[in-house]
Structure 1
Amino acid sequence: MARAKNFDPDEAVGKAMEVFWRKGYARTTPQDLVDAIGIGRGSLYNAFAGKRDLFERSLRRYQAQETVRLIDLLDGPGSPRERVRAALTMVLDAACSDTERRGCLATNTAVELGADEAVGLLVRRIFDRQHDAFRGAIEEGQRAGEFGDDIDAVTAANFLLTTINGMRVLARADPRPARLAGLVDTAMRAL
C-alpha cells in the first residue's frame, strides 16, 4: 500500500520557486530543494519528475503569482497613460526594494536557459502576456488621444517589455537610486 504524501505539493512548488528565484536553475541543487521544502529526497522525486519538472512548475507559479500583478495594473482602472506609468513604477520600485536582488525569475531564466526549447516557451508565454497587456493599454491610450497615432503599439509594447526587463537586470546588478532615477520618465517620453 502506498504511503500518503505528508506534504502539500502546491506549497512545495512555492518554496521551490523561491529557491530557484534566489539561486537560478543551475546553482540550485536537489539538496537545496529538499531543505527548502522540508521533505526527503525520495518524496521529492516521487512527487515530481525531478529538478527540471519542479523548476517548470515553479516558473508557471511565478507567472500566475507575480506576472499577474503587472497585467492587472495595466488592465485596471484609470487612464491608459497613468496605468502604463504605474506599471513601470511598480516594476522599478520592486526591483529597487528587493534586498536579496533576485530580479525577475522569468528574466533570469531567459538569460540562463532561454535557448532551452521547453523553458524558453514558458518564458516567452510570460513575456507575451506582459507585451499584450502593454499593447492593449497603448492602443486604448491611442483611441483616447493619450498616446500618438504615429506610435506602433506592437513596437512600443516591445520597448516597454525590454525596458522593464532591463530595469530588473540593472537593479539586480546596481540598485542605487541614482543609477535608476529617471528611467520611468524617459520611457514615458518615448510614448
Structure 2
Amino acid sequence: MARPKQFDPEIAVDRAMEVFWRKGYAATTPQDLVDALGIGKGSLYNAFGSKRALFELALRRYRDSQALALVEMLEESGPVRERLREVLRFLAEMDLGDPDRRGCMAVNTAAELAGADEAAAVLVRRMFDRTEGAFRALIEEGQRAGEIAPERDPVALGSLLLTTVVGMRLMARVAEGPDRLARVIDATIDSL
C-alpha cells in the first residue's frame, strides 16, 4: 500500500521557486531544495522527478504569479503615462526593497540559461512576449486617448518598454539606491 504524501506539492513548488529565484538554477543544490521543502531527497525525486523538472514548475509558478501581476497592473484604468510610471516605480521599489535583491526570475533565467536550456528559454520568451504585448496594448490605448502621438510605432515602443523593464530589473540587483532607476523611469515616460 502506497504511503500518502507528507507534504503539499503546491507549497513545495512555491518554496522551490523562492530558492531558485534567490540562487539561480545552477547554484541551487538538491540539498538546498530538500532543506527548503522540508522533505527527503527520495521524496523530492519521487514527487518531481528531477531538479530540472522542479525548476520548470517553479518558473511556471513565477509566471503565473509575478509576471501575470505586471500585465494586470498595466491593464488597470487611468491615464496611460501615469499608469506606466506607477508600474515602473512599483517594480523599482519592489526590487530595491528586496533584501536578497533577486530581481526578476525570468530575467535571471534568461541570463543564466537561455543559451543552454531551450525549454527554459521558451518559457521566458513567452513571458517576455506577453509583457511586451501588454505594453503594446497600453501604447495603443494611449494613442487612442491622445496621450501618445499616433505616428509612434506601438510594436517598437512595446519592445522598448520591455527592454527598459529588463534592464531596470537587472540594474536594481546592484543599485546603491533609487536615483538611477528614477532617472530611467522619467526618461522612459518622457520618451513617449
Q: TM-score range by the shorter chain?
A: over 0.9
Q: Which amino acid aligns with 1:181?
A: A
Does the 8 Å CA contact 2:92/2:178 hold for their aligned counterparts? no
Q: Where do 1:111-126 residues align within 5 Å?
A: 111-115=111-115, 116-126=117-127
Cα distance in 2 for residues equivalent to 1:93 and 1:149: 31
Alpha-carbon deviations, 1:45-80, whole Å to 9, x = none?
Answer: 000011000000000000111112211111111122
Q: CA deviation at 1:88?
A: 1.2
Give the match for residue 128 of structure 2. 127
TM superposition score normalised by structure 2: 0.96
Give the match for residue 6 of structure 1. 6
Does the 8 Å CA contact 2:67/2:127 hold for their aligned counterparts? yes
Give the match for residue 66 of structure 1. 66
Q: CA deviation at 1:10?
A: 0.6
- SS for the counterpart of 1:182 is helix
Give the match for residue 43 of structure 2. 43
- SS for the counterpart of 2:81 is helix
Give the match for residue 148 of structure 1. 149
Q: Which amino acid aligns with 1:158?
A: S
Give the match for residue 180 of structure 1. 181
- SS for the counterpart of 1:181 is helix
RMSD: 1.0
- SS for the counterpart of 2:65 is helix
- SS for the counterpart of 2:2 is coil
Q: Which amino acid aligns with 1:47?
A: A
Cα distance in 2 for residues equivalent to 1:55 and 1:96: 25
Cα distance in 1 for residues equivalent to 2:182 and 2:134: 24
Cα distance in 2 for residues equivalent to 1:92 and 1:155: 23
Give the match for residue 85 of structure 1. 85
Cα distance in 1 for residues equivalent to 2:88 and 2:142: 16
Cα distance in 2 for residues equivalent to 1:98 and 1:148: 36
Q: CA deviation at 1:85?
A: 1.4
Q: CA deviation at 1:180?
A: 2.5
Q: CA deviation at 1:183?
A: 1.3
Unpaired runs of at least 5, structure 2: none
Cα distance in 2 for residues equivalent to 1:190 and 1:178: 18
Q: Number of residues paired by the alignment? A: 191
Unpaired runs of at least 5, structure 1: none
Q: Which amino acid aligns with 2:164?
A: T
Q: CA deviation at 1:133?
A: 0.8
- SS for the counterpart of 1:95 is helix
Q: CA deviation at 1:105?
A: 0.3
- SS for the counterpart of 1:63 is helix
Percent identity between matched residues is: 55
